[in-house]
Amino acid sequence: MKEFKNQIESCKSLKELEDLRVSLFGKKGFFAGEFAKMKKLPPEEKKSFAQKLNEDKEFFLNTLNEKKLHLEAEAIAYEMKKDGVDVTLFNQASEAGALHPVMDTMDKIIEYFVAMNFSIEEGPLVEDDFHNFEALNLPKYHPARDMQDTFYFEDGMLLRTHTSPVQIRTMLKDKPPIRMICPGAVFRRDYDLTHTPMFHQVEGLVVDKSGVVSFANLKYILEDFLKYMFGDVEVRFRPSFFPFTEPSAEVDISCIFCEGRGCRVCSHTGWLEVLGSGYVDENVFKAVGYEGVSGYAFGLGVERFAMLLHKIPDLRSLFEGDLRLLEQFR
């Protein structure tokens, strides 16, 4: 009996085990032979003989099954091992592409304002003088027009120098209250290390009947927005001048590179200028025929945000499809 046990244990393959099973439990196997012997035994011994034999049979069956499970598991493990690889051979270069950092930043900005219940508005790139300048309190010969070197077309139309004409179009199309942003490409005739003839802006406008929207509200949303974009930064408002807002303010954040101590990026001032904003000038409302309303507006350059957020040193590289830069955003 012990010998059988050893035989089972020493089986090295499922085939060997199957052969052994047949030799033990088959029709001509060991146990068939033993049970045949029973016929010759006296009746009083039959019972105990059978009982013993059944017990042995069950014992070996169990042992055999256990061994079978074991060998099966071994066989699977062997198969797996055969297929095994050196996982460290994996090449980290993913086949995926990437969103452009400027467009990705624009998405983030849009998502904030959508969550704050602003609508998105769009307008044409080719604009006329009224929507781009005149209605925005930039009459002809206004010195502030110098600030925006404009691309003109032969027929007097122009490429919008900011997304503000979309505000004018929206005010002409809708009635207050208005709560909108206009993201998009804008154009200025300027091309050097820090200027490209095309860049992207997101501007916002909130208008309601007089007395509802205050300068304090403008401060609230811009502070919240800048913290959403840049994390825990300090926000500073400086009075400034834009023809379409009055009072106007430029908004700075404490430098995210040196935490306000002063570095090359912030020209050692500790502050980074990121936004222009203000209370909408009454002449803008006059131009669109609104009365008894007030509101705020703000605008930002998306490239500047993207460059600050991702420490991108060269503005022009953003428009060259340069994979050395883009691959880093996978």
Partner 1 sequence: MIFTRKWLSEWIDLKDISSEEICTTLNSIGLEVDSLTKIEIPKNVVVAKVLSCKKHPDANKLNVCEVDLGDEVKQIVCGAPNVQAGQFVAVSKVGAVLPNGMKIKEATLRGVNSSGMICSSEEIGLPKMGSGIMVLDDSIGELVLGRELSEYDVFNDEIIEVELTANRGDCQSVYGIARDLSVPLDLDLRKFESEDEEDQLGIGRVLNVNATEKVDASLLYRVCEQGKISSPFIIDLRLAIADLYRETPLDRVLEYATYVSGVLLRAYSHECFSDKNEKATIKIKKHSNKLDAVFDKKNEISSFIGIYQFEESKATLNDERVILEANYTHPEIISQNSANKNIESDRHLYLSSRGSEPNLDFGMNYLEEILKKSSEVKFYAGSQQVIQNFEEIRIPISLCELKELIGEEIPKNKIVQILKRLGFYVTFKNEQSVINVQVPQFRHDIKNAQDVCEEIVRIVGIDNIASKPLYFSEKNRFNSAYNSFMKRKMYRQRAVGVGFFETLHFVFDNKTRLEKYGLQTVYKKRDLANPITNELNTLRTSLLPNLIESVNRNIKFGKKSIRLYEIGTVFDKTRDEELCFGLVFSGFKEYPKVSNHGKPEVIDFFTFADKISQVIGSFNLVKGKPKNLLVSPYEYALIIQDGKEVGYIGRVHKQIEKDLDLYRTYVCEVDMKKLPFDRKIAKSYSKFQESSRDLSLMIPKKLSFSTIKEFIEIKAPSELVKFYPIDIYEDENFGDKISLTIKFHFQSSEKTLEDEDVNKFLDSTLKSLNEKFGITMR
Among residues 117, 162, 157, 155, the alpha carbon closest in space to that of 136 is found at 162
- State the Cα–Cα distance between residues 88 and 91, nearest whole angstrom: 8
DSSP state of 135: G
Q: Are 147 and 109 in contact (CB under 8 A)?
A: no
Q: Of 55 and 107, which CB lies nearer to partner 1 in the complex structure?
A: 107
**288 interacts with partner 1 by CB under 8 A:** no
- Cβ(319)–Cβ(191) below 8 Å: no
Total residues at the site for partner 1 (CB under 8 A)? Answer: 87
Which CB sits closer to partner 1, 50 or 98?
A: 98
Residues 244-263 that bind partner 1 (CB under 8 A): 246-250
Asked if residues 302 and 202 have their Cβ atoms less than 8 Å apart, the reply is yes
Q: Which of residues 180-199 bind partner 1 (CB under 8 A)?
A: 185, 187, 189-191, 196-198
Q: How far apart are CA 244 and CA 144, in angstroms?
A: 10
Tell which one of 68, 237, 258, 312 touches partner 1 (CB under 8 A): 237
Q: Residue 30 or residue 230: which is nearer to partner 1 going by CB? A: 230
User: Between residue 66 and residue 105, which ones bind partner 1 under the rule CB under 8 A?
Assistant: 89-91, 93, 95-100, 102-103
- Selected binder of partner 1 within 281, 298, 304, 308 (CB under 8 A): 281
- The distance of closest approach from Cβ of residue 112 to partner 1 in the complex, given in angstroms and rounded to an integer, is 13
CA distances from 230 to 112, 193, 257, 298, 328 (A): 13, 25, 11, 17, 20
Site string for partner 1, 308-327 (x = CB under 8 A): ----------xxxxxxx-xx
Q: How far apart are CA 263 and CA 265, in angstroms?
A: 6
Binding to partner 1 (CB under 8 A) within 33-62 occurs at none
CA distance 317 to 330: 17
130 sits near partner 1 (criterion: CB under 8 A): no
With respect to partner 1, which residue has the nearer C-beta, 68 or 179?
Answer: 179
